[in-house]
Amino acid sequence: MARRSLLVGFGSFLPDRVVTNDELAARLETSDEWIKTRTGISRRHIAGPDDTAASMGAKAASRALEYAGLAATDIDAVIVGTSTPDQAFPATAVRIQAELGMTQGFGFDIAAACSGFIFALSTADSFIRSGLARNVLVIGSEVYSRIVDWSDRGTCVLFGDGAGAVVLSGTDQAGEAGILSTHLHSDGTAGDLLYVDGAVGRPEMSGHLKMNGRDVFRHAVAKLSSSVDEALEAEGLSYSDVSWLVPHQANIRIIEGVGKKLGLPPEQVVVTVDRHANTSAASIPLALDEAVRDGRIKKGDLVLMEALGGGLTWGSALARM
Protein backbone atom coordinates (compact mmCIF):
# COMPACT_ATOMS: atom_id res chain seq x y z
CA MET A 1 0.00 0.00 0.00
CA ALA A 2 1.30 3.46 -0.89
CA ARG A 3 2.41 5.69 1.94
CA ARG A 4 0.22 8.71 2.62
CA SER A 5 0.91 12.02 4.40
CA LEU A 6 -1.37 12.85 7.31
CA LEU A 7 -1.84 16.35 8.72
CA VAL A 8 -1.30 15.68 12.43
CA GLY A 9 -0.10 18.99 13.91
CA PHE A 10 -1.05 22.65 13.60
CA GLY A 11 0.48 25.78 15.09
CA SER A 12 0.79 29.50 14.55
CA PHE A 13 2.35 32.68 15.88
CA LEU A 14 1.40 36.33 15.47
CA PRO A 15 3.47 39.28 16.72
CA ASP A 16 2.04 41.26 19.64
CA ARG A 17 1.85 44.60 17.85
CA VAL A 18 -1.44 45.23 16.03
CA VAL A 19 -1.72 48.08 13.51
CA THR A 20 -5.22 49.20 12.58
CA ASN A 21 -6.36 50.91 9.40
CA ASP A 22 -6.99 54.08 11.40
CA GLU A 23 -3.37 54.09 12.53
CA LEU A 24 -2.21 53.90 8.92
CA ALA A 25 -4.71 56.58 7.89
CA ALA A 26 -3.12 58.95 10.40
CA ARG A 27 0.04 59.06 8.29
CA LEU A 28 -1.07 58.03 4.81
CA GLU A 29 -3.64 59.37 2.36
CA THR A 30 -6.08 56.55 3.04
CA SER A 31 -8.93 55.58 5.35
CA ASP A 32 -10.37 52.59 7.14
CA GLU A 33 -13.29 52.57 4.70
CA TRP A 34 -10.99 52.75 1.63
CA ILE A 35 -8.91 49.78 2.80
CA LYS A 36 -11.85 47.64 3.96
CA THR A 37 -13.86 48.22 0.80
CA ARG A 38 -11.02 47.17 -1.51
CA THR A 39 -9.37 44.41 0.53
CA GLY A 40 -11.50 43.38 3.52
CA ILE A 41 -8.57 44.18 5.84
CA SER A 42 -9.18 45.89 9.18
CA ARG A 43 -5.85 45.33 10.93
CA ARG A 44 -2.58 43.43 10.77
CA HIS A 45 0.16 42.17 13.10
CA ILE A 46 3.59 43.76 12.71
CA ALA A 47 6.85 42.16 13.85
CA GLY A 48 8.62 43.67 16.83
CA PRO A 49 12.39 44.25 16.99
CA ASP A 50 12.98 40.72 18.33
CA ASP A 51 10.65 38.96 15.89
CA THR A 52 12.30 37.27 12.89
CA ALA A 53 11.20 34.76 10.28
CA ALA A 54 13.14 32.12 12.22
CA SER A 55 11.90 33.02 15.70
CA MET A 56 8.26 33.24 14.60
CA GLY A 57 8.56 30.03 12.59
CA ALA A 58 10.07 28.21 15.56
CA LYS A 59 7.22 29.29 17.84
CA ALA A 60 4.60 28.14 15.32
CA ALA A 61 6.50 24.87 14.84
CA SER A 62 6.67 24.22 18.61
CA ARG A 63 2.90 24.60 18.85
CA ALA A 64 2.37 22.27 15.90
CA LEU A 65 4.64 19.66 17.50
CA GLU A 66 2.75 19.95 20.79
CA TYR A 67 -0.56 19.45 18.96
CA ALA A 68 0.85 16.38 17.20
CA GLY A 69 2.29 14.94 20.39
CA LEU A 70 5.74 14.77 18.83
CA ALA A 71 9.16 16.01 19.87
CA ALA A 72 11.62 17.88 17.69
CA THR A 73 13.76 14.72 17.73
CA ASP A 74 10.95 12.93 15.84
CA ILE A 75 11.23 15.30 12.86
CA ASP A 76 13.17 14.27 9.75
CA ALA A 77 12.91 17.50 7.76
CA VAL A 78 11.98 21.17 8.11
CA ILE A 79 10.75 22.97 4.99
CA VAL A 80 10.04 26.70 5.21
CA GLY A 81 8.13 28.78 2.70
CA THR A 82 9.38 32.36 3.01
CA SER A 83 10.23 35.34 0.85
CA THR A 84 11.57 37.31 3.81
CA PRO A 85 14.41 35.20 5.25
CA ASP A 86 16.52 36.67 8.01
CA GLN A 87 19.71 36.02 6.05
CA ALA A 88 20.71 35.10 2.51
CA PHE A 89 22.06 31.93 4.14
CA PRO A 90 21.91 29.78 6.13
CA ALA A 91 18.30 28.96 5.37
CA THR A 92 15.57 30.01 7.78
CA ALA A 93 14.77 26.30 8.11
CA VAL A 94 18.13 25.45 9.66
CA ARG A 95 17.85 28.41 12.04
CA ILE A 96 14.51 26.97 13.11
CA GLN A 97 16.15 23.55 13.48
CA ALA A 98 18.63 25.12 15.87
CA GLU A 99 15.93 26.92 17.89
CA LEU A 100 14.03 23.64 18.22
CA GLY A 101 17.18 21.84 19.37
CA MET A 102 17.29 19.57 16.33
CA THR A 103 20.62 18.12 15.25
CA GLN A 104 19.19 15.42 13.00
CA GLY A 105 17.42 15.56 9.66
CA PHE A 106 17.65 18.36 7.11
CA GLY A 107 16.05 21.68 6.32
CA PHE A 108 15.75 24.20 3.51
CA ASP A 109 13.67 27.15 2.34
CA ILE A 110 11.34 27.51 -0.62
CA ALA A 111 10.86 30.93 -2.22
CA ALA A 112 7.53 30.94 -4.06
CA ALA A 113 6.13 34.13 -2.52
CA CYS A 114 2.50 33.75 -1.38
CA SER A 115 2.37 30.21 -2.82
CA GLY A 116 5.30 29.16 -0.64
CA PHE A 117 3.30 27.06 1.80
CA ILE A 118 1.58 25.08 -0.96
CA PHE A 119 4.96 24.46 -2.64
CA ALA A 120 6.50 23.40 0.69
CA LEU A 121 3.54 21.14 1.52
CA SER A 122 3.80 19.44 -1.86
CA THR A 123 7.54 18.90 -1.41
CA ALA A 124 7.07 17.44 2.07
CA ASP A 125 4.34 15.12 0.78
CA SER A 126 6.68 13.88 -1.95
CA PHE A 127 9.43 13.16 0.58
CA ILE A 128 7.03 11.16 2.72
CA ARG A 129 5.54 9.22 -0.21
CA SER A 130 9.04 8.32 -1.43
CA GLY A 131 10.14 7.14 2.02
CA LEU A 132 12.81 9.82 2.39
CA ALA A 133 11.10 11.20 5.50
CA ARG A 134 8.50 10.09 8.02
CA ASN A 135 7.69 13.31 9.88
CA VAL A 136 8.10 16.74 8.29
CA LEU A 137 7.56 20.23 9.65
CA VAL A 138 6.12 22.54 6.99
CA ILE A 139 6.24 26.21 7.92
CA GLY A 140 5.29 29.52 6.38
CA SER A 141 6.93 32.51 8.07
CA GLU A 142 7.00 36.09 6.79
CA VAL A 143 8.02 39.60 7.88
CA TYR A 144 6.68 41.65 4.98
CA SER A 145 6.70 44.77 7.15
CA ARG A 146 10.43 44.91 6.42
CA ILE A 147 10.10 44.94 2.63
CA VAL A 148 7.02 47.10 2.01
CA ASP A 149 7.33 50.80 1.26
CA TRP A 150 5.46 52.39 4.16
CA SER A 151 4.86 55.53 2.10
CA ASP A 152 3.02 53.58 -0.63
CA ARG A 153 -0.63 53.24 0.37
CA GLY A 154 -1.26 50.85 -2.52
CA THR A 155 0.92 48.12 -0.99
CA CYS A 156 1.77 48.78 2.65
CA VAL A 157 -1.85 48.48 3.81
CA LEU A 158 -2.11 44.97 2.37
CA PHE A 159 0.47 43.03 4.34
CA GLY A 160 1.15 41.72 7.82
CA ASP A 161 3.61 39.44 9.62
CA GLY A 162 3.24 36.01 11.18
CA ALA A 163 4.01 32.31 10.96
CA GLY A 164 2.05 29.09 10.66
CA ALA A 165 3.12 25.46 10.72
CA VAL A 166 1.84 21.95 10.18
CA VAL A 167 3.31 18.52 10.89
CA LEU A 168 2.99 15.92 8.16
CA SER A 169 3.42 12.28 9.19
CA GLY A 170 3.61 9.26 6.94
CA THR A 171 1.37 6.23 7.35
CA ASP A 172 1.11 2.91 5.56
CA GLN A 173 -2.23 2.07 7.13
CA ALA A 174 -5.43 1.93 5.11
CA GLY A 175 -7.67 4.96 5.27
CA GLU A 176 -8.96 8.00 3.41
CA ALA A 177 -7.26 10.73 5.43
CA GLY A 178 -4.19 12.59 4.23
CA ILE A 179 -2.92 14.73 1.39
CA LEU A 180 -4.82 13.55 -1.69
CA SER A 181 -2.99 15.61 -4.29
CA THR A 182 -1.07 18.83 -4.87
CA HIS A 183 -0.69 20.86 -8.06
CA LEU A 184 2.01 23.48 -8.69
CA HIS A 185 2.48 26.07 -11.44
CA SER A 186 4.57 29.10 -12.32
CA ASP A 187 4.76 31.59 -15.18
CA GLY A 188 7.89 33.73 -15.20
CA THR A 189 6.64 35.92 -18.03
CA ALA A 190 4.34 37.57 -15.47
CA GLY A 191 7.11 38.05 -12.92
CA ASP A 192 7.06 41.85 -13.12
CA LEU A 193 3.47 42.06 -11.88
CA LEU A 194 4.50 41.36 -8.28
CA TYR A 195 8.11 41.44 -7.16
CA VAL A 196 10.67 42.87 -4.74
CA ASP A 197 12.88 45.51 -6.29
CA GLY A 198 16.29 44.12 -5.40
CA ALA A 199 18.04 41.63 -3.13
CA VAL A 200 21.53 40.80 -1.88
CA GLY A 201 22.73 40.58 -5.48
CA ARG A 202 21.23 43.98 -6.40
CA PRO A 203 22.07 46.34 -3.51
CA GLU A 204 21.56 49.42 -5.69
CA MET A 205 17.80 48.76 -5.87
CA SER A 206 15.13 49.78 -3.35
CA GLY A 207 14.42 46.39 -1.82
CA HIS A 208 10.72 47.27 -1.66
CA LEU A 209 7.75 45.22 -2.79
CA LYS A 210 6.20 46.41 -6.08
CA MET A 211 2.82 45.34 -7.40
CA ASN A 212 0.47 45.89 -10.32
CA GLY A 213 -2.64 45.20 -8.30
CA ARG A 214 -5.16 45.24 -11.12
CA ASP A 215 -3.31 42.67 -13.23
CA VAL A 216 -2.47 40.47 -10.24
CA PHE A 217 -6.18 40.40 -9.34
CA ARG A 218 -7.08 39.39 -12.88
CA HIS A 219 -4.54 36.56 -12.91
CA ALA A 220 -5.55 35.43 -9.42
CA VAL A 221 -9.20 34.93 -10.27
CA ALA A 222 -8.45 32.95 -13.43
CA LYS A 223 -5.54 30.88 -12.17
CA LEU A 224 -7.00 30.02 -8.79
CA SER A 225 -10.26 28.94 -10.39
CA SER A 226 -8.40 26.61 -12.77
CA SER A 227 -6.29 25.30 -9.87
CA VAL A 228 -9.44 24.45 -7.93
CA ASP A 229 -10.84 22.53 -10.89
CA GLU A 230 -7.54 20.73 -11.42
CA ALA A 231 -7.37 19.51 -7.84
CA LEU A 232 -10.92 18.17 -7.79
CA GLU A 233 -10.75 16.58 -11.24
CA ALA A 234 -7.56 14.73 -10.26
CA GLU A 235 -9.47 12.96 -7.49
CA GLY A 236 -12.77 12.55 -9.31
CA LEU A 237 -14.50 14.93 -6.91
CA SER A 238 -16.97 17.76 -7.38
CA TYR A 239 -17.48 21.17 -5.77
CA SER A 240 -20.14 19.72 -3.48
CA ASP A 241 -17.57 17.35 -1.92
CA VAL A 242 -15.50 20.21 -0.48
CA SER A 243 -16.09 20.80 3.23
CA TRP A 244 -13.81 23.81 3.61
CA LEU A 245 -11.89 26.23 1.44
CA VAL A 246 -8.73 27.51 3.14
CA PRO A 247 -7.38 30.06 0.66
CA HIS A 248 -4.38 32.31 0.65
CA GLN A 249 -5.53 35.43 2.46
CA ALA A 250 -4.70 38.19 -0.04
CA ASN A 251 -7.96 39.99 -0.75
CA ILE A 252 -11.53 39.34 0.35
CA ARG A 253 -12.81 39.83 -3.21
CA ILE A 254 -10.59 37.04 -4.54
CA ILE A 255 -11.53 34.77 -1.64
CA GLU A 256 -15.24 35.38 -2.18
CA GLY A 257 -14.87 34.82 -5.92
CA VAL A 258 -13.33 31.37 -5.51
CA GLY A 259 -15.85 30.47 -2.80
CA LYS A 260 -18.72 31.35 -5.12
CA LYS A 261 -17.20 29.26 -7.91
CA LEU A 262 -17.23 26.27 -5.56
CA GLY A 263 -20.77 27.05 -4.50
CA LEU A 264 -19.62 27.19 -0.89
CA PRO A 265 -21.51 29.42 1.53
CA PRO A 266 -19.31 32.00 3.31
CA GLU A 267 -19.43 29.96 6.52
CA GLN A 268 -17.44 27.19 4.77
CA VAL A 269 -14.64 29.51 3.69
CA VAL A 270 -11.96 30.23 6.30
CA VAL A 271 -11.22 33.96 6.33
CA THR A 272 -8.52 35.67 8.40
CA VAL A 273 -7.50 38.45 6.00
CA ASP A 274 -9.64 40.93 7.96
CA ARG A 275 -7.43 40.46 11.05
CA HIS A 276 -4.11 39.24 9.64
CA ALA A 277 -3.95 41.02 6.24
CA ASN A 278 -1.80 39.23 3.66
CA THR A 279 0.90 37.24 5.47
CA SER A 280 2.10 35.62 2.23
CA ALA A 281 3.36 32.05 2.75
CA ALA A 282 2.15 32.13 6.36
CA SER A 283 -1.49 32.87 5.55
CA ILE A 284 -2.79 29.37 4.79
CA PRO A 285 -1.22 27.61 7.81
CA LEU A 286 -2.35 30.50 10.06
CA ALA A 287 -5.92 30.12 8.82
CA LEU A 288 -5.78 26.32 8.98
CA ASP A 289 -4.54 26.36 12.56
CA GLU A 290 -7.31 28.73 13.62
CA ALA A 291 -10.08 26.69 11.99
CA VAL A 292 -8.80 23.37 13.37
CA ARG A 293 -8.38 24.68 16.90
CA ASP A 294 -11.76 26.39 17.07
CA GLY A 295 -13.47 23.19 15.92
CA ARG A 296 -14.69 24.27 12.50
CA ILE A 297 -12.51 21.81 10.61
CA LYS A 298 -13.08 18.27 11.85
CA LYS A 299 -11.84 14.78 11.18
CA GLY A 300 -13.08 13.52 7.82
CA ASP A 301 -13.54 16.99 6.30
CA LEU A 302 -12.27 17.59 2.77
CA VAL A 303 -10.14 20.73 2.77
CA LEU A 304 -9.07 22.60 -0.36
CA MET A 305 -6.11 24.99 -0.09
CA GLU A 306 -5.01 27.33 -2.89
CA ALA A 307 -2.67 30.28 -3.38
CA LEU A 308 -1.16 32.61 -5.95
CA GLY A 309 1.96 34.72 -5.50
CA GLY A 310 4.77 36.57 -7.20
CA GLY A 311 6.53 34.72 -9.94
CA LEU A 312 3.80 34.27 -10.84
CA THR A 313 3.40 31.06 -8.86
CA TRP A 314 0.18 29.31 -7.96
CA GLY A 315 -1.06 25.94 -6.79
CA SER A 316 -3.52 23.91 -4.77
CA ALA A 317 -3.59 21.10 -2.25
CA LEU A 318 -6.47 18.80 -1.40
CA ALA A 319 -6.49 17.02 1.96
CA ARG A 320 -8.82 14.78 3.92
CA MET A 321 -8.52 15.57 7.63
Please identify every residue annotated as catalytic.
Answer: 114, 248, 278
Number of Cβ atoms within 10 Å of the Cβ of 20: 14
Is residue 190 located within the same domain as residue 42?
no
Is residue 24 located within the same domain as residue 128?
yes
- The region that residue 150 occupies, defined by phi over 0 for left and psi between -120 and 50 for alpha, beta otherwise, is alpha
d(CA 151, CA 260): 35
Mean pLDDT calculated for residue range 168-187: 94
Instruction: Please say which residue of 171, 203, 233 terminates a domain.
Output: 171
Q: Which of 265, 253, 255 is nearest to 306 (CA)?
A: 255
Residue 38 has pLDDT above 70, yes or no: yes
The CA–CA distances, whole Å, from 167 to 86, 128, 139, 160, 313 equal 23, 12, 9, 23, 23
Mean pLDDT calculated for residue range 191-208: 84
**Domains held by the chain: number:** 2
Of 48-52, 133-137, 226-230, 261-265, the one with minimum mean pLDDT is 261-265
Distance of CA 266 to the CA centre of its chain: 20
Instruction: List the domain range (segments joined by +) for residue 211.
Output: 178-320
Is residue 194 located within the same domain as residue 257?
yes
Residue 314 φ then ψ, to 5°: -160, 160
Is residue 22 located within the same domain as residue 120?
yes
Is residue 90 located within the same domain as residue 185?
no
Residue 3 has pLDDT above 90, yes or no: no
d(CA 121, CA 139): 9
Beta strands in 149-189 (DSSP E): 161-171, 178-186
Specify the CATH number for the domain of residue 31: 3.40.47.10
Residue 203 φ then ψ, to 5°: -65, -15
Instruction: Please say which residue of 114, 147, 171 terminates a domain.
Output: 171
Is residue 115 located within the same domain as residue 250?
no
> Peptide bond before 100: cis, by omega within 30 degrees of 0?
no
The DSSP output letter for 161 is E
Residue 138 has pLDDT above 80, yes or no: yes
- What pTM value is reported for the model? 0.96
> Peptide bond before 266: cis, by omega within 30 degrees of 0?
no
* pLDDT confidence band for 2 (50 / 70 / 90): low
By DSSP bridging, strand 135-143 and strand 77-81 are parallel
Largest Cα–Cα distance of the chain, in whole Å?
A: 60
d(CA 285, CA 117): 8
Instruction: Please say which residue of 171, 200, 235 terminates a domain.
Output: 171
